[in-house]
A and B are shown apart, each in its own frame.
Chain A
């Protein structure tokens, strides 16, 4: 790699060409030999190791060993939870709203105060006040826990640079292993009840805090750091008096992300139960396929997320000072109102103002499905026949008389390869040999289908990709990790997951890129898209499973849509952000050179935004994998289903192995895309 970097342009392609050639060769060999050697196409069961069982035994043993300690901790955590619960439930709801509004005013003036008051007003009207307070109590304990743990991890990694790589890996694992996969072990460890949800959400919420603390500490201006040293401060004084406070705004970004992550995870943890929180309510209504009610319960969570996000977001920026007197006024007002109407103050749980609205939503869903049944079926069938099925099982099996109107023949396969070969030669002639070879590989994959890809090709292809993206270390890592999936016998399921999330990522890249571009060009479009993005990211996704299911029934297409709905958001955000943040002097220089708006977009803004867009793609990939597990509630095969099976059966080994396989796929995709993004950034000198 290093040698190639020195030479510009053409030579950059060199490792790419070599890698593509290797992958192509591996694929062609597999394709040619597969009829003779069945083991090439499918990893024989006889070769798998009982890794799943070993994992189960090892983890169970480990859990038993630390169980007493964990139970102590569990008992300890119950106290703050009880206090939070008591405080939130004992406070009359008008006072809670008043305090929230006062806090909002203190943080961000009128807009924030209004947001808080209206938001909590909605919660009261929804009739989910009690459940919401339960959820809040959980968040109120899990977030400080996550902040402390995350902060400690961040500081530790900063103080011992040697620990950075393992800590980064640990954080990746904490964020990519689906929560469902470790719910069972957590329950074994901590016993039944809200503490499990608390720990699960703390596990998920700690990494963003740790990353931001580490980032904040790394970004402290070296002169500020040196100034502290030269002032004669000890290491602890430097850290706590200078470095951490001066990185406060970055750390606040971490606090914000930590809050959001904890909130989203509290809902997931509701599957276990034990707390009668709002997530449980969502699950109950979803089980009855009551879309209106579950949407209402879901929106309560969105309201909390938005209020918490905006409130904590003000901490990250520079704060204006708002009149304290208003704070006292709001507090006093809520107390006075409560006292005045004490006797006639209704129990918050008895409000059902919004029930008719929920029912109306439900009815309109029914009306819509009845009216558009045929159209919906057509959409689904076309997407399946011409998109998803060929991608999964290949053209040779997907093209059938009753889907495409004709049968796929051997001649057609040859024709496909011939077209690809011509395209390949054309591209090589145009000086883009890597792209040409990729065309050949794509043709081969289209013919075979992702779910039927021979394992040697997947291993070698991924390793080659990793090598191009980030050097031989990544290539080796991907070989080792993928082999472990192979050996555990989960490879078939992993490929199914790869296919589904791959299709979703592809669709998200197209749609999200386009929408992000639109939002970058038109502020009006962004004003419309932004709240939608907020909602898609914070509403518990269970809620959307119902309409998707009613429109498109159980099956891959529904799962595909559910994944897209969630994973498209980062693509939109990052694309817009990348395009918008092109330095103005670059644009001015281009405009001064006589470039049209379209040319500026194509030649300046898009290339400049490329690393940011790649990061968005990276996030999209991670989100798609995360959503796979939720999509399993619709009914998919693949790793997501394995994780559910394991959760239902309390099979620790399967859960851990499938979760690990999922994390491995996500990690490799992450590393490869990051590698390319870093490459682009270097090329741009950023």
Chain B
């Protein structure tokens, strides 16, 4: 779990609050390349930003890129910005590139994210007492499988995202063994199988995510923690362990090529100030993943109906 750069984030927010003045368009003849990662929410986020840049008079190109592997490309200037980086799930590569000075952060996206230990709603029937975390103490057996017996089974994030689930189980001294999933697909398959078969499942998950509503996923209530919870064992319900508290809120932020500001000053400003809320993003994701709409159409519809939400950001940078 990488909790990155509160300092940088504060600086970005300050820049926004201070109000931006109009900037030069820069090399508007050359396309600005935006990364398209592997999930729908990111597609929405990126398309909206891209349309805003077009409205400002830029050419935009969308380039598919693996979330984990895009940072080298951004550092090289092959991709110019990526607009939905999750602090809970960002490779060390990003930190390295930022330290190198080849990648810069472009501020918060404004998506309100939450991570936690979760379960599909029907599991509450199998383990009465949920969502209170203490209920898990007694119904660990319900979650036991061949791999974990006699312990209960917690499906954790893929190993390269960190092991927050395992940390919680140790922190709360719960009789669960964390099994790392291999990929996001594996997590979704678990959720899908569980809700279809009404079988028990405890899983580390996050929102916003289309699967939260699709499979009616609930979070386990964990005691709210602070910095000390992660450093001082004495803090919290378990005096012998750290991590005996809920997840620290994830940041979702944007990142870009270091040369962005110089080459396309206005674009840099637009992307830095660009924000998108869960309330805006989630319905668009639903319209795509559940109702089968295309990203282009759904985003175009939103853009025309919500001009008041994005036009000011474009105008601030260009007028």
A residues in contact (CB < 8 Å) with B: 183-184, 187-188, 191-193, 271-276, 280, 283-284, 286-289, 366, 369-370, 373, 380-381, 384-385, 389, 400, 402-403, 542, 545-546, 549-551, 553-557, 631-637, 641, 644-645, 647-651
Please, which residues of chain B bring their CB within 8 A of the CB of A369? 193, 196-197
Asked if B93 contacts A289 (CB within 8 A), the reply is no
5 further A-B contacts with Cβ under 8 Å, apart from A648-B161, A650-B69, are A271-B69, A274-B63, A381-B145, A384-B146, A554-B179
A-B pairs with lowest CB-CB distance, top 5: A192-B73, A648-B160, A384-B146, A549-B189, A650-B93
Please, which residues of chain A bring their CB within 8 A of the CB of B193? 369, 549-551, 553
Q: Let me know if B14 is at the binding interface, CB within 8 A.
A: no
Closest to B78 in A: A192
Q: How far is the CA of A632 from the CA of B190 in the complex (A)?
A: 15
25 contacts between A and B (CB under 8 A): A187-B72, A187-B73, A191-B73, A192-B65, A193-B78, A272-B66, A273-B63, A275-B64, A288-B40, A288-B188, A366-B192, A369-B193, A370-B197, A381-B146, A542-B185, A551-B193, A555-B146, A555-B147, A635-B181, A641-B159, A645-B160, A648-B160, A650-B91, A650-B92, A651-B92
Q: How far is the CA of A546 from the CA of B147 in the complex (A)?
A: 19
Select the residue from B40, B65, B179, B183 with max chain A CB neighbours within 10 A: B183
Please, which residues of chain B bring their CB within 8 A of the CB of A184? 69
CB distance from A76 to the nearest CB of B (A): 16
Q: How far is the CA of A369 from the CA of B289 in the complex (A)?
A: 22
Asked if B38 contacts A283 (CB within 8 A), the reply is yes
Please, which residues of chain A bring their CB within 8 A of the CB of B68? 647-650
Please, which residues of chain A bring their CB within 8 A of the CB of B149? 400, 402-403
Closest to A646 in B: B160
Q: Let me know if B70 is at the binding interface, CB within 8 A.
A: yes
Given contacts A554-B182, A635-B158, contact A650 B71 (CB under 8 A): yes
Please, which residues of chain A bring their CB within 8 A of the CB of B216? none
Q: How far is the CA of A380 from the CA of B186 in the complex (A)?
A: 17
Q: How far is the CA of A192 from the CA of B77 in the complex (A)?
A: 9
Q: Let me know if B262 is at the binding interface, CB within 8 A.
A: no
Asked if B189 contacts A648 (CB within 8 A), the reply is no
Q: Let me know if B180 is at the binding interface, CB within 8 A.
A: yes
Please, which residues of chain B bring their CB within 8 A of the CB of A188? 72
A-B contact count (CB 8 A): 167
Q: Identify which of A183, A272, A286, A555 contacts B185 (C-beta below 8 A).
A: A286
Asked if A187 contacts B69 (CB within 8 A), the reply is yes
Q: How far is the CA of A385 from the CA of B145 in the complex (A)?
A: 11
Please, which residues of chain A bring their CB within 8 A of the CB of B181? 554, 634-635
Asked if A271 contacts B192 (CB within 8 A), the reply is no
Q: Identify which of B76, B180, B210 contacts A192 (C-beta below 8 A).
A: B76
Asked if A271 contacts B66 (CB within 8 A), the reply is yes
Given contacts A635-B180, A649-B160, contact A555 B145 (CB under 8 A): yes
Segment 129-177 of B: residues with Cβ below 8 Å from A: 145-147, 149-150, 155, 158-161
Closest to B155 in A: A554
Q: Let me know if B238 is at the binding interface, CB within 8 A.
A: no
Q: How far is the CA of A110 from the CA of B39 in the complex (A)?
A: 43
CB distance from B214 to the nearest CB of A (A): 10
Please, which residues of chain A bring their CB within 8 A of the CB of B158? 635, 644, 648
Q: Let me know if B79 is at the binding interface, CB within 8 A.
A: yes
Q: How far is the CA of A238 from the CA of B63 in the complex (A)?
A: 49
Please, which residues of chain A bring their CB within 8 A of the CB of B180? 635, 637, 641
Asked if A546 contacts B185 (CB within 8 A), the reply is yes
Q: How far is the CA of A647 from the CA of B73 in the complex (A)?
A: 14
B residues in contact (CB < 8 Å) with A: 36-40, 63-66, 68-73, 76, 78-79, 91-93, 96, 145-147, 149-150, 155, 158-161, 179-186, 188-193, 196-197, 199, 210, 289
Q: How far is the CA of A651 from the CA of B188 in the complex (A)?
A: 27
Please, which residues of chain B bring their CB within 8 A of the CB of A187? 69, 72-73
Select the residue from B184, B191, B193 with max chain A CB neighbours within 10 A: B193
Q: How far is the CA of A364 from the CA of B241 in the complex (A)?
A: 46
Please, which residues of chain B bring their CB within 8 A of the CB of A283? 38
CB distance from B19 to the nearest CB of A (A): 35
Given contacts A191-B73, A191-B76, contact A553 B190 (CB under 8 A): yes
Please, which residues of chain B bring their CB within 8 A of the CB of A366? 192, 196
Q: How far is the CA of A550 from the CA of B183 in the complex (A)?
A: 14
Closest to B192 in A: A289
Asked if A635 contacts B188 (CB within 8 A), the reply is no
Please, which residues of chain A bring their CB within 8 A of the CB of B92? 649-651
Asked if B190 contacts A385 (CB within 8 A), the reply is no
Q: How far is the CA of A288 from the CA of B40 in the complex (A)?
A: 9
Asked if B188 contacts A289 (CB within 8 A), the reply is yes
CB distance from B42 to the nearest CB of A (A): 11
Q: How far is the CA of A668 from the CA of B214 in the complex (A)?
A: 48
Q: How far is the CA of A644 from the CA of B91 in the complex (A)?
A: 12
Q: How far is the CA of A191 from the CA of B77 in the complex (A)?
A: 10
Asked if B199 contacts A373 (CB within 8 A), the reply is yes
Closest to B63 in A: A274
CB distance from A517 to the nearest CB of B (A): 31
Please, which residues of chain B bring their CB within 8 A of the CB of A554? 155, 179, 181-182, 186, 190
Q: Identify which of B145, B159, B190, B289 contacts A645 (C-beta below 8 A).
A: B159
Asked if A288 contacts B155 (CB within 8 A), the reply is no
Please, which residues of chain B bring their CB within 8 A of the CB of A380? 146
Given contacts A280-B64, A385-B146, A555-B179, contact A545 B185 (CB under 8 A): yes
Select the residue from B79, B96, B146, B197 with max chain A CB neighbours within 10 A: B146
Q: How far is the CA of A545 from the CA of B181 in the complex (A)?
A: 12
Closest to A196 in B: B69
Given contacts A633-B185, A645-B160, contact A192 B79 (CB under 8 A): yes
Please, which residues of chain B bring their CB within 8 A of the CB of A271? 66, 69
CB distance from A345 to the nearest CB of B (A): 21
Closest to A642 in B: B159
Q: How far is the CA of A542 from the CA of B182 in the complex (A)?
A: 11
Please, which residues of chain A bring their CB within 8 A of the CB of B190? 549, 553-554
Please, which residues of chain B bring their CB within 8 A of the CB of A645? 159-160
Q: Identify which of B39, B91, B145, B146 contacts A287 (C-beta below 8 A).
A: B39
Please, which residues of chain B bring their CB within 8 A of the CB of A402? 149-150
Asked if B91 contacts A289 (CB within 8 A), the reply is no
Asked if B196 contacts A546 (CB within 8 A), the reply is no
Closest to B72 in A: A187
Q: How far is the CA of A187 from the CA of B79 in the complex (A)?
A: 13
